Amino acid sequence: MLLDNFRLFRTVAARDGIRAATRKALTRAAKSIPVALQGKIDVFQHYEALLGGEQGHGIKITPENVPVGSMTWLVPDFNASSGGHINILRFMALLKEFGFPEQRLVVVEPHRWGSATEAQAALNAAFGDNGITVSLGARSIEPCQYLVATGWQTAYWVSKYRDTAHRLYFVQDFEPSFYAHGTEYVLAENTYKLGLIGVTAGSWLAEKLHKDYGMRTVSFGFSCDLDLYKPHEKRPSNTRHIFFYARPVTPRRCFELGLLALKRVCDQMPDVAVIFAGWDVSGYEIPFHHLNAGTVAVPNLPDLYSQCDVGLILSSTNLSLLPLEMAACGCPLVINRGPNATWLLPEEEAFYCELDVESIVEALMAALKNPEDMAERAALALERSKSSSWKAEAEKISAFLREIG
């Protein structure tokens, strides 16, 4: 039990910060184990590990001693359902096709793997065998042409490694916003000041990191698996359904704001029900007609999206892949307005609202009361999704990598 608690603490600390991990550990301890048995919190071990250490000999990177196009990516511990890891593995596989044949993945501490062989097997099972080599621990980095940080917890290690030609930072969100404005916020923000080259998910991040921190950046757009995400036949129903991307465990997805707004809509529209998906919300009081779909298997998502009359997706930071995936299934969307969100779909392709309960209610009701307008916007968004391509986005990044050489 103590070992399980320790592993849980390390995992949560790496993902959400030491304060969040401490709160979770204390809550768990109060239920089952005296707090005194937990021991003291080692702040030094945790933060000094995050800050990394000098590595490498400062060798000259040439085709003779380092394979051309070799790339090593540092990632926090992975699981099969992590959207961030899915995107990383997707780009690694595509860049392999575009002339960067040696792709290595380094899983930094803390991780749960007993050996690199075990981690390699799990990676291949989760994401497919794309010829990507896995090693464990930041000290296992080998000389390479491109060294890539991903989660902010990996950036300090990348900045201090000397045997590479180019240090990159694959940024999928503004990660300081994941934390209260304290130590973790500052440490995450400071990674944008390390001189790494940003490869960002969307133009908003590229512009923000360049403007606010002086980073050199290149961005890729979003796409989706069009063989999977496509419209399914909508089954007849006397109830209209709002899909809500409900992630109470992810504060930036603004679950509580959405819940307050949805109650008002359902109170005014008795024929409307809400489908909650993304997390189990059974622990919440929800006094209106709804379905708690929880975490839905990916193959079942397109049919679910196709049965919904409108989808509500809120985010106080960068968008997830969900809006384009839902658009590819023909579902009209309500999204919060802001440069972090409007970069993906123009105003005429979705209904936009402010991050305010009244505004969310107004946007949802405007959509539901105007089915022709909904259909027109959904059709435009569907066409945009069809014109997108992960391969084209990876080709853009590969051209940039060759440019910096």
pLDDT tens profile 216-232: 999 999 999 999 999 99
pLDDT at res. 39: 75
Kindly state whether residue 55 falls inside one of the protein's structural domains: no
Q: Are residues 291 and 174 in the same domain?
A: no
pLDDT at res. 75: 96
C-beta of residue 327 within 8 angstroms of C-beta of residue 385: yes
pLDDT at res. 1: 47
Output the CA–CA distances (angstroms, integers) from residue 180 to 45, 60, 252, 317, in the order listed.
Answer: 21, 41, 12, 14
Closest CA to 259 of 300, 216, 215, 290: 290
Amino acid letter, 26: L
Q: Are residues 99 and 191 in the same domain?
A: yes
Residues paired with residue 161 on neighbouring β-strands, in sequence order = 55
Q: Are residues 326 and 218 in the same domain?
A: no
Q: Are residues 288 and 212 in the same domain?
A: no
Q: How far apart are CA 318 and CA 85, in angstroms?
A: 16
Q: Are residues 194 and 107 in the same domain?
A: yes
Kindly report the CATH number assigned to the domain that includes residue 75.
3.40.50.11090
Q: How far apart are CA 83 and CA 146, in angstroms?
A: 23
Q: Are residues 321 and 365 in the same domain?
A: yes
Owning domain of residue 295: 240-387
* Burial (CB count within 10 angstroms: exposed 0-12, middle 13-18, buried 19+), residue 194: middle
Q: What average pLDDT score do residues 153-173 get?
A: 97
Q: Are residues 88 and 146 in the same domain?
A: yes
**3-class DSSP state of 12:** helix
Interacting residues of 228 by C-beta distance below 8 A, sequence separation 6+: 298, 299, 302
**3-class DSSP state of 134:** strand
Q: Are residues 193 and 268 in the same domain?
A: no
Q: What average pLDDT score do residues 61-84 get?
A: 89
pLDDT at res. 345: 96
Kindly state whether residue 397 falls inside one of the protein's structural domains: yes
pLDDT at res. 208: 98
Kindly state whether residue 215 falls inside one of the protein's structural domains: yes
Residue 125 tokens, joined = 């099972």
Total of domains in the chain: 2
> Which of 7-16, 178-187, 252-261, 299-308 bottoms out in mean pLDDT, i.e. has the lowest?
7-16
Q: Name the E strands within 206-346.
A: 217-220, 240-245, 272-277, 290-294, 310-313, 333-336
Q: How far apart are CA 81 and CA 47, in angstroms?
A: 27
Q: How far apart are CA 310 and CA 240, in angstroms?
A: 9
pLDDT at res. 40: 84
Kindly state whether residue 126 falls inside one of the protein's structural domains: yes
Q: Are residues 201 and 248 in the same domain?
A: no
pLDDT band at 326 (very low <50, low <70, confident <90, very high): very high
18-32 and 2-16 helices, crossing angle to 10°: 150
Sign of CA pseudo-dihedral 97, 100, 102, 107? negative
Angle in degrees, CA 364, 366, 369, rounded to 5: 105
Sign of CA pseudo-dihedral 25, 27, 31, 35? positive
Q: Are residues 135 and 73 in the same domain?
A: yes
Kindly state whether residue 133 falls inside one of the protein's structural domains: yes
Kindly state whether residue 9 falls inside one of the protein's structural domains: no
Q: How far apart are CA 94 and CA 378, in angstroms?
A: 29
Element (H, E) at 171: strand 164-171
Element (H, E) at 17: none
